[in-house]
């Protein structure tokens, strides 16, 4: 089983800026931690980070036939992107939305997500562990008969 892990805009800066909000872990470190969980679960991961909405959408179009589901941190696109929502619905892939920070404890505009109501699940506020919990939840759900 292959899972696509998508990281949205600015997450390439992790570990270099705003450690009080997003922690000190780099994106490479998060991906490495996810690889350990994936090995335990017996699944394969494919990673992509992009600062461009269209690149993320193109990746969904290109990969939907070869992956079983998606773990996505849509970053700022969470709160703005109808196009990303349409793409996730369009490819009919089960996905989990994850956030490092607790978006409900921050500015009011972060409380709305264009994706949450069509996600299998949403995990936020646990730092890099949000991704790991999201991956575990997604795979467990996909394996349930």
33's enclosing H/E stretch is helix 27-41
**How do strand 69-73 and strand 2-7 relate by DSSP bridges?**
parallel
Q: Which is the catalytic residue, given 7, 99, 114, 131?
A: 99
How many residues comprise the chain? 145
Cβ within 8 Å of residue 50, ≥6 positions away: 6, 7, 8, 9, 56, 59
In the complex, least distance from residue 66 CB atom to ligand CA2, rounded to whole angstroms: 26
Task: Indicate if 22 belongs to the active site.
Answer: yes
Task: Indicate if 52 belongs to the active site.
Answer: no
In the complex, least distance from residue 65 CB atom to ligand CA2, rounded to whole angstroms: 27
Provide the Cα torsion 82, 87, 88, 89; round to 10°. Answer: 90
Q: Which residues pair with 96 in a beta bridge?
A: 71, 121
Residues at the site binding ligand CA2, with contacts judged by CB under 6 A: 10-11, 13-14, 17-18, 22, 73, 75-76, 78, 99-101, 103, 110
* Residue number with CB closer to ligand CA2 (35 or 51): 51
In the complex, least distance from residue 19 CB atom to ligand CA2, rounded to whole angstroms: 8
Cite the active site residues. Answer: 22, 99
């Amino acid at each position: 089983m292959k899972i696509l892990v998508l990281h949205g805009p600015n997450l390439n800066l992790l570990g270099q800026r705003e450690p009080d909000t997003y922690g000190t872990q780099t994106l490479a470190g998060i991906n490495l931690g996810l690889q350990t969980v994936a090995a335990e679960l017996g699944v394969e991961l494919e990673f992509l980070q992009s600062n461009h909405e269209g690149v993320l959408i193109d990746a969904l179009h290109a990969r939907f036939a070869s992956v079983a589901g998606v773990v996505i941190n849509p970053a700022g696109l969470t709160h703005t992107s109808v196009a990303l929502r349409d793409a996730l619905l369009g490819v009919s892939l089960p996905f989990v939305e994850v956030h490092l920070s607790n978006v409900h404890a921050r500015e009011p505009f972060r409380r709305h997500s264009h994706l949450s109501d069509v996600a299998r699940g949403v995990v936020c506020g646990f730092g890099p562990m949000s991704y790991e919990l999201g991956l575990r939840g997604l795979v467990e759900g996909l394996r349930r008969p």
